[in-house]
Amino acid sequence: MNMTAVAQIEAEQPVKRSALREWISRRRWLFLFVVLPTICAGIYNGLYASDVFISESRFVVKSPDQKRGQISTLANLIQTTGLSSGQEQANEVLAFVRSRDALSELEKSSRIREKFSSSDIDVFSRFPALFSRDTFEELYKFYGHMVEVGQDTETGTAIIRVKAFTPGDAHAINSRLLELSEQLVNRLNDRAQARGIGEAQRQVELATARAREARLMVARYRNAREVIDPAKQVGGVLDISNKLVAERATLQAQLELIQRMTPRNPAIPALRDRIAAMSAQIASQDSRLVGSDQGIASKIGGYENLLVEQEFATAALNAADAALVQARADAQRQQFYLERVVNPNLPDAPLLPKRLLNTIIVAAAAACLYFIGWMFVVGILEHAPED
Protein backbone atom coordinates (compact mmCIF):
# COMPACT_ATOMS: atom_id res chain seq x y z
CA MET A 1 0.00 0.00 0.00
CA ASN A 2 1.45 3.33 -1.07
CA MET A 3 1.47 6.50 0.92
CA THR A 4 -1.35 7.99 -1.09
CA ALA A 5 -3.78 5.17 -0.09
CA VAL A 6 -2.83 5.45 3.57
CA ALA A 7 -3.42 9.16 3.55
CA GLN A 8 -6.77 8.63 1.88
CA ILE A 9 -7.88 6.13 4.56
CA GLU A 10 -6.79 8.42 7.36
CA ALA A 11 -8.76 11.24 5.78
CA GLU A 12 -11.91 9.09 5.48
CA GLN A 13 -11.93 7.99 9.18
CA PRO A 14 -12.68 11.46 10.63
CA VAL A 15 -15.39 11.82 8.00
CA LYS A 16 -16.99 8.52 9.11
CA ARG A 17 -16.76 9.43 12.79
CA SER A 18 -18.26 12.81 12.03
CA ALA A 19 -21.10 11.17 10.10
CA LEU A 20 -21.75 8.75 12.98
CA ARG A 21 -21.84 11.59 15.47
CA GLU A 22 -24.16 13.48 13.15
CA TRP A 23 -26.47 10.47 12.88
CA ILE A 24 -26.50 9.98 16.64
CA SER A 25 -27.01 13.70 17.24
CA ARG A 26 -30.03 13.76 14.99
CA ARG A 27 -31.53 10.84 16.90
CA ARG A 28 -30.44 11.86 20.38
CA TRP A 29 -34.06 12.21 21.60
CA LEU A 30 -34.86 8.72 20.32
CA PHE A 31 -31.92 7.36 22.28
CA LEU A 32 -32.87 9.41 25.33
CA PHE A 33 -36.58 8.59 25.48
CA VAL A 34 -36.75 5.12 23.86
CA VAL A 35 -33.44 3.30 23.77
CA LEU A 36 -32.21 4.36 27.21
CA PRO A 37 -35.44 3.40 29.09
CA THR A 38 -35.51 0.10 27.22
CA ILE A 39 -31.92 -0.64 28.19
CA CYS A 40 -32.63 0.29 31.83
CA ALA A 41 -35.76 -1.89 31.85
CA GLY A 42 -33.84 -4.78 30.34
CA ILE A 43 -31.02 -4.46 32.87
CA TYR A 44 -33.47 -4.24 35.79
CA ASN A 45 -35.70 -7.11 34.66
CA GLY A 46 -32.82 -9.27 33.59
CA LEU A 47 -30.39 -8.74 36.45
CA TYR A 48 -31.97 -7.07 39.48
CA ALA A 49 -35.73 -7.81 39.60
CA SER A 50 -36.49 -10.33 42.34
CA ASP A 51 -38.24 -13.58 41.54
CA VAL A 52 -41.87 -13.80 42.62
CA PHE A 53 -43.37 -17.18 43.52
CA ILE A 54 -47.12 -17.83 43.54
CA SER A 55 -48.93 -20.30 45.79
CA GLU A 56 -52.58 -21.04 45.05
CA SER A 57 -55.28 -22.79 47.06
CA ARG A 58 -58.97 -23.45 46.48
CA PHE A 59 -61.81 -24.21 48.86
CA VAL A 60 -65.58 -24.35 49.18
CA VAL A 61 -67.86 -23.73 52.16
CA LYS A 62 -70.50 -26.43 52.58
CA SER A 63 -73.33 -27.26 54.92
CA PRO A 64 -73.78 -30.84 56.20
CA ASP A 65 -77.54 -30.47 55.73
CA GLN A 66 -77.18 -29.34 52.15
CA LYS A 67 -79.51 -31.27 49.92
CA ARG A 68 -77.68 -33.27 47.31
CA GLY A 69 -80.67 -34.72 45.50
CA GLN A 70 -80.86 -34.57 41.77
CA ILE A 71 -82.73 -31.61 40.39
CA SER A 72 -84.00 -30.81 36.95
CA THR A 73 -82.12 -28.65 34.50
CA LEU A 74 -84.66 -25.84 34.87
CA ALA A 75 -84.43 -25.99 38.67
CA ASN A 76 -80.65 -25.97 38.44
CA LEU A 77 -80.79 -22.92 36.17
CA ILE A 78 -83.07 -21.13 38.62
CA GLN A 79 -80.81 -22.05 41.54
CA THR A 80 -77.75 -20.61 39.81
CA THR A 81 -79.41 -17.21 39.55
CA GLY A 82 -78.83 -16.62 43.25
CA LEU A 83 -76.25 -17.35 45.91
CA SER A 84 -76.56 -20.37 48.14
CA SER A 85 -75.85 -20.04 51.82
CA GLY A 86 -72.49 -21.78 51.33
CA GLN A 87 -71.49 -19.25 48.66
CA GLU A 88 -72.48 -16.42 50.97
CA GLN A 89 -70.21 -17.89 53.64
CA ALA A 90 -67.41 -18.21 51.07
CA ASN A 91 -67.86 -14.54 50.15
CA GLU A 92 -67.56 -13.63 53.82
CA VAL A 93 -64.35 -15.65 54.05
CA LEU A 94 -62.88 -13.95 50.99
CA ALA A 95 -63.82 -10.54 52.39
CA PHE A 96 -61.99 -11.47 55.58
CA VAL A 97 -58.88 -12.55 53.63
CA ARG A 98 -58.84 -9.10 51.98
CA SER A 99 -59.31 -7.31 55.31
CA ARG A 100 -56.95 -5.60 57.70
CA ASP A 101 -57.88 -8.15 60.36
CA ALA A 102 -56.33 -10.94 58.29
CA LEU A 103 -53.19 -8.83 57.78
CA SER A 104 -52.98 -8.17 61.53
CA GLU A 105 -53.18 -11.91 62.22
CA LEU A 106 -50.47 -12.56 59.63
CA GLU A 107 -48.27 -9.94 61.26
CA LYS A 108 -48.63 -11.67 64.62
CA SER A 109 -48.20 -15.27 63.49
CA SER A 110 -46.30 -15.21 60.19
CA ARG A 111 -44.20 -12.03 60.43
CA ILE A 112 -45.40 -11.02 56.99
CA ARG A 113 -43.79 -7.58 57.25
CA GLU A 114 -40.35 -9.18 57.56
CA LYS A 115 -41.05 -11.48 54.61
CA PHE A 116 -41.94 -8.55 52.38
CA SER A 117 -39.12 -6.24 53.54
CA SER A 118 -36.12 -8.58 53.36
CA SER A 119 -32.88 -7.06 52.13
CA ASP A 120 -32.61 -9.86 49.55
CA ILE A 121 -35.53 -8.32 47.64
CA ASP A 122 -34.74 -5.63 45.11
CA VAL A 123 -35.43 -2.07 46.18
CA PHE A 124 -38.26 -1.57 43.70
CA SER A 125 -40.15 -4.69 44.81
CA ARG A 126 -39.70 -4.80 48.57
CA PHE A 127 -41.76 -3.14 51.28
CA PRO A 128 -41.78 -0.25 51.93
CA ALA A 129 -41.62 0.93 48.35
CA LEU A 130 -39.76 4.03 47.30
CA PHE A 131 -41.28 7.26 48.58
CA SER A 132 -43.58 5.38 51.00
CA ARG A 133 -43.52 4.96 54.75
CA ASP A 134 -43.27 1.84 56.88
CA THR A 135 -46.85 2.04 58.20
CA PHE A 136 -49.63 -0.46 58.55
CA GLU A 137 -51.74 1.27 55.91
CA GLU A 138 -48.88 1.15 53.41
CA LEU A 139 -48.38 -2.50 54.29
CA TYR A 140 -52.09 -3.10 53.71
CA LYS A 141 -51.82 -1.58 50.22
CA PHE A 142 -48.77 -3.76 49.52
CA TYR A 143 -50.67 -6.79 50.91
CA GLY A 144 -53.50 -6.09 48.45
CA HIS A 145 -51.05 -6.46 45.58
CA MET A 146 -49.48 -9.65 46.95
CA VAL A 147 -52.66 -11.52 47.98
CA GLU A 148 -55.43 -12.02 45.45
CA VAL A 149 -58.78 -13.69 46.08
CA GLY A 150 -61.65 -14.55 43.79
CA GLN A 151 -64.17 -17.20 42.77
CA ASP A 152 -64.19 -19.61 39.88
CA THR A 153 -67.71 -19.31 38.48
CA GLU A 154 -67.41 -22.59 36.56
CA THR A 155 -66.48 -24.78 39.54
CA GLY A 156 -67.89 -22.62 42.34
CA THR A 157 -64.62 -22.73 44.26
CA ALA A 158 -63.03 -19.81 46.09
CA ILE A 159 -59.40 -19.04 45.22
CA ILE A 160 -56.60 -17.60 47.33
CA ARG A 161 -53.47 -16.70 45.39
CA VAL A 162 -50.42 -15.50 47.34
CA LYS A 163 -47.32 -13.92 45.83
CA ALA A 164 -44.05 -13.87 47.76
CA PHE A 165 -40.33 -13.70 47.08
CA THR A 166 -39.52 -17.24 48.23
CA PRO A 167 -41.44 -20.48 47.70
CA GLY A 168 -41.64 -21.14 51.45
CA ASP A 169 -43.05 -17.70 52.23
CA ALA A 170 -45.76 -18.02 49.58
CA HIS A 171 -46.75 -21.46 50.87
CA ALA A 172 -46.65 -20.41 54.55
CA ILE A 173 -48.79 -17.29 54.02
CA ASN A 174 -51.35 -19.19 51.96
CA SER A 175 -51.55 -21.98 54.53
CA ARG A 176 -52.01 -19.49 57.35
CA LEU A 177 -54.77 -17.69 55.45
CA LEU A 178 -56.59 -20.99 55.01
CA GLU A 179 -56.27 -21.71 58.73
CA LEU A 180 -57.62 -18.24 59.55
CA SER A 181 -60.49 -18.83 57.12
CA GLU A 182 -61.40 -22.10 58.82
CA GLN A 183 -61.33 -20.36 62.20
CA LEU A 184 -63.60 -17.65 60.81
CA VAL A 185 -66.14 -20.21 59.59
CA ASN A 186 -66.09 -21.85 63.01
CA ARG A 187 -66.61 -18.47 64.70
CA LEU A 188 -69.52 -17.71 62.39
CA ASN A 189 -71.02 -21.09 63.28
CA ASP A 190 -70.58 -20.46 67.00
CA ARG A 191 -72.03 -16.98 66.70
CA ALA A 192 -75.05 -18.21 64.74
CA GLN A 193 -75.62 -21.07 67.18
CA ALA A 194 -75.28 -18.81 70.21
CA ARG A 195 -77.64 -16.30 68.63
CA GLY A 196 -80.16 -19.06 67.82
CA ILE A 197 -80.02 -20.56 71.32
CA GLY A 198 -80.11 -17.13 72.94
CA GLU A 199 -83.15 -16.07 70.94
CA ALA A 200 -84.90 -19.38 71.69
CA GLN A 201 -84.08 -19.00 75.40
CA ARG A 202 -85.43 -15.46 75.36
CA GLN A 203 -88.68 -16.65 73.77
CA VAL A 204 -88.97 -19.35 76.45
CA GLU A 205 -88.53 -16.74 79.17
CA LEU A 206 -91.15 -14.48 77.61
CA ALA A 207 -93.58 -17.38 77.18
CA THR A 208 -92.97 -18.50 80.77
CA ALA A 209 -93.65 -15.02 82.09
CA ARG A 210 -96.80 -14.82 79.98
CA ALA A 211 -98.07 -18.20 81.21
CA ARG A 212 -97.30 -17.27 84.83
CA GLU A 213 -99.12 -13.96 84.49
CA ALA A 214 -102.12 -15.70 82.90
CA ARG A 215 -102.39 -18.13 85.83
CA LEU A 216 -102.10 -15.28 88.33
CA MET A 217 -104.82 -13.35 86.54
CA VAL A 218 -107.14 -16.38 86.73
CA ALA A 219 -106.43 -16.74 90.45
CA ARG A 220 -107.03 -13.03 91.08
CA TYR A 221 -110.27 -13.17 89.11
CA ARG A 222 -111.52 -16.12 91.17
CA ASN A 223 -110.75 -14.37 94.44
CA ALA A 224 -112.21 -11.07 93.33
CA ARG A 225 -115.44 -12.51 91.86
CA GLU A 226 -115.75 -15.35 94.42
CA VAL A 227 -116.00 -18.02 91.78
CA ILE A 228 -114.06 -21.20 91.10
CA ASP A 229 -115.25 -22.34 87.69
CA PRO A 230 -118.29 -20.44 86.40
CA ALA A 231 -118.97 -22.99 83.67
CA LYS A 232 -119.18 -25.88 86.11
CA GLN A 233 -121.13 -23.80 88.61
CA VAL A 234 -123.66 -22.83 85.94
CA GLY A 235 -124.08 -26.51 85.16
CA GLY A 236 -124.72 -27.31 88.83
CA VAL A 237 -127.23 -24.48 89.25
CA LEU A 238 -129.05 -25.50 86.08
CA ASP A 239 -129.24 -29.11 87.29
CA ILE A 240 -130.78 -27.98 90.60
CA SER A 241 -133.17 -25.61 88.87
CA ASN A 242 -134.23 -28.22 86.38
CA LYS A 243 -134.96 -30.73 89.18
CA LEU A 244 -136.98 -28.15 91.06
CA VAL A 245 -138.95 -27.30 87.94
CA ALA A 246 -139.66 -30.98 87.37
CA GLU A 247 -140.78 -31.48 90.97
CA ARG A 248 -142.97 -28.35 90.82
CA ALA A 249 -144.58 -29.60 87.64
CA THR A 250 -145.34 -32.92 89.35
CA LEU A 251 -146.84 -31.15 92.37
CA GLN A 252 -148.81 -28.82 90.13
CA ALA A 253 -150.25 -31.79 88.31
CA GLN A 254 -151.20 -33.44 91.65
CA LEU A 255 -152.80 -30.23 92.86
CA GLU A 256 -154.91 -29.88 89.74
CA LEU A 257 -156.00 -33.50 89.95
CA ILE A 258 -156.96 -33.23 93.61
CA GLN A 259 -158.81 -29.99 92.98
CA ARG A 260 -160.89 -31.68 90.31
CA MET A 261 -161.51 -34.84 92.27
CA THR A 262 -161.90 -33.49 95.82
CA PRO A 263 -162.07 -29.71 95.87
CA ARG A 264 -162.21 -29.64 99.64
CA ASN A 265 -159.33 -31.97 100.25
CA PRO A 266 -157.27 -30.73 103.25
CA ALA A 267 -154.02 -31.57 101.38
CA ILE A 268 -154.63 -28.81 98.87
CA PRO A 269 -153.15 -25.96 101.02
CA ALA A 270 -150.07 -28.03 101.77
CA LEU A 271 -149.51 -28.71 98.06
CA ARG A 272 -149.95 -25.03 97.26
CA ASP A 273 -147.37 -24.14 99.92
CA ARG A 274 -144.91 -26.66 98.53
CA ILE A 275 -145.42 -25.37 95.00
CA ALA A 276 -144.88 -21.79 96.19
CA ALA A 277 -141.73 -22.79 98.05
CA MET A 278 -140.39 -24.55 94.97
CA SER A 279 -141.18 -21.53 92.82
CA ALA A 280 -139.22 -19.40 95.26
CA GLN A 281 -136.30 -21.82 95.08
CA ILE A 282 -136.39 -21.81 91.31
CA ALA A 283 -136.39 -18.00 91.27
CA SER A 284 -133.47 -18.01 93.71
CA GLN A 285 -131.50 -20.38 91.50
CA ASP A 286 -132.26 -18.30 88.43
CA SER A 287 -131.09 -15.16 90.21
CA ARG A 288 -127.78 -16.89 90.87
CA LEU A 289 -127.31 -17.21 87.13
CA VAL A 290 -128.65 -13.96 85.73
CA GLY A 291 -130.27 -10.75 86.77
CA SER A 292 -127.42 -8.94 88.57
CA ASP A 293 -123.70 -8.14 88.43
CA GLN A 294 -123.11 -10.94 90.92
CA GLY A 295 -124.77 -13.50 88.66
CA ILE A 296 -122.66 -16.35 87.42
CA ALA A 297 -123.50 -15.49 83.82
CA SER A 298 -121.87 -12.07 84.21
CA LYS A 299 -118.68 -13.78 85.41
CA ILE A 300 -118.39 -16.33 82.61
CA GLY A 301 -117.21 -13.91 79.91
CA GLY A 302 -114.25 -12.52 81.84
CA TYR A 303 -113.32 -15.95 83.14
CA GLU A 304 -113.39 -17.53 79.68
CA ASN A 305 -111.23 -14.71 78.29
CA LEU A 306 -108.68 -15.41 80.99
CA LEU A 307 -108.85 -19.14 80.23
CA VAL A 308 -108.26 -18.48 76.51
CA GLU A 309 -105.24 -16.32 77.37
CA GLN A 310 -103.96 -19.04 79.68
CA GLU A 311 -104.33 -21.67 76.94
CA PHE A 312 -102.55 -19.49 74.37
CA ALA A 313 -99.78 -18.74 76.86
CA THR A 314 -99.37 -22.46 77.61
CA ALA A 315 -99.30 -23.31 73.89
CA ALA A 316 -96.72 -20.56 73.28
CA LEU A 317 -94.61 -21.90 76.15
CA ASN A 318 -94.73 -25.41 74.71
CA ALA A 319 -93.74 -24.12 71.26
CA ALA A 320 -90.88 -22.06 72.74
CA ASP A 321 -89.63 -25.09 74.67
CA ALA A 322 -89.69 -27.17 71.47
CA ALA A 323 -87.81 -24.42 69.59
CA LEU A 324 -85.19 -24.28 72.33
CA VAL A 325 -84.71 -28.05 72.18
CA GLN A 326 -84.35 -27.83 68.39
CA ALA A 327 -81.88 -24.95 68.64
CA ARG A 328 -79.76 -26.90 71.07
CA ALA A 329 -79.92 -29.94 68.80
CA ASP A 330 -78.81 -27.81 65.84
CA ALA A 331 -75.94 -26.46 67.92
CA GLN A 332 -74.63 -30.00 68.39
CA ARG A 333 -73.73 -30.23 64.73
CA GLN A 334 -71.67 -27.83 62.65
CA GLN A 335 -73.76 -25.76 60.27
CA PHE A 336 -70.99 -24.85 57.81
CA TYR A 337 -67.48 -26.11 57.25
CA LEU A 338 -64.61 -25.15 54.97
CA GLU A 339 -63.50 -27.96 52.70
CA ARG A 340 -60.14 -27.64 50.98
CA VAL A 341 -60.35 -28.53 47.33
CA VAL A 342 -56.71 -27.66 46.51
CA ASN A 343 -54.14 -27.29 49.28
CA PRO A 344 -51.54 -24.51 48.99
CA ASN A 345 -48.80 -25.61 46.61
CA LEU A 346 -45.08 -25.11 47.19
CA PRO A 347 -43.94 -23.43 43.95
CA ASP A 348 -40.71 -24.72 42.43
CA ALA A 349 -40.25 -21.94 39.85
CA PRO A 350 -40.98 -18.21 39.81
CA LEU A 351 -43.89 -17.10 37.65
CA LEU A 352 -43.12 -13.40 37.96
CA PRO A 353 -41.75 -11.06 36.81
CA LYS A 354 -42.22 -11.65 33.09
CA ARG A 355 -38.85 -10.20 32.27
CA LEU A 356 -38.92 -10.14 28.48
CA LEU A 357 -42.56 -9.07 28.32
CA ASN A 358 -41.99 -6.23 30.78
CA THR A 359 -39.01 -5.01 28.76
CA ILE A 360 -41.03 -5.12 25.53
CA ILE A 361 -43.87 -3.23 27.20
CA VAL A 362 -41.48 -0.50 28.37
CA ALA A 363 -39.97 -0.24 24.88
CA ALA A 364 -43.41 -0.06 23.24
CA ALA A 365 -44.69 2.54 25.71
CA ALA A 366 -41.55 4.65 25.33
CA ALA A 367 -41.75 4.43 21.54
CA CYS A 368 -45.41 5.46 21.54
CA LEU A 369 -44.72 8.42 23.80
CA TYR A 370 -41.72 9.41 21.70
CA PHE A 371 -43.63 9.38 18.42
CA ILE A 372 -46.55 11.26 19.99
CA GLY A 373 -44.11 13.93 21.19
CA TRP A 374 -42.32 13.98 17.82
CA MET A 375 -45.58 14.50 15.97
CA PHE A 376 -46.55 17.23 18.40
CA VAL A 377 -43.22 19.05 17.85
CA VAL A 378 -43.43 18.65 14.05
CA GLY A 379 -46.90 20.11 14.09
CA ILE A 380 -45.73 23.11 16.08
CA LEU A 381 -42.80 23.69 13.72
CA GLU A 382 -44.96 23.46 10.62
CA HIS A 383 -47.33 26.11 11.93
CA ALA A 384 -44.59 28.41 13.25
CA PRO A 385 -43.94 31.64 11.34
CA GLU A 386 -40.86 31.55 9.01
CA ASP A 387 -39.18 34.58 10.58
pLDDT given at position 72: 42
Give the count of beta carbons closer than 10 Å to the beta carbon of residue 349.
8
**Residues 88, 207: contact at Cβ < 8 Å?**
no
pLDDT given at position 23: 65
pLDDT given at position 334: 58
pLDDT given at position 7: 52
Q: Name 310's bridge partners.
A: none
pLDDT given at position 381: 76
157-164 sheet: strands from edge to edge:
147-152, 157-164, 53-62, 337-342
> DSSP string of 102-138?
HHHHHHHHT-HHHHHS-TTS-TTTSSSPTT--S-HHH
pLDDT tens digits in sequence order for the chain, 387 residues long: 455 554 555 545 555 566 767 766 777 888 888 888 999 988 988 888 999 999 999 999 987 655 444 344 434 443 444 344 578 888 999 999 999 999 999 999 989 999 999 989 999 999 988 788 899 999 999 999 999 999 998 888 999 999 999 999 999 999 999 999 999 998 888 887 888 788 888 888 888 888 888 888 877 766 665 566 665 565 566 666 677 777 778 877 777 777 777 777 777 787 777 877 777 777 666 555 555 555 555 556 566 677 778 788 888 889 888 888 887 777 766 578 899 999 999 999 999 888 899 999 999 999 999 889 888 887 787 776 665
- Largest Cα–Cα distance in the chain? 195
Give the count of beta carbons closer than 10 Å to the beta carbon of residue 284.
13
pLDDT given at position 76: 45
Amino acid present at 154: E
**Residue from 183, 174, 188, 165 nearest 342 by CA:** 174
pTM to 2 decimals?
0.65
- HSE-up (13 A, CA, CB side) for residue 148: 10
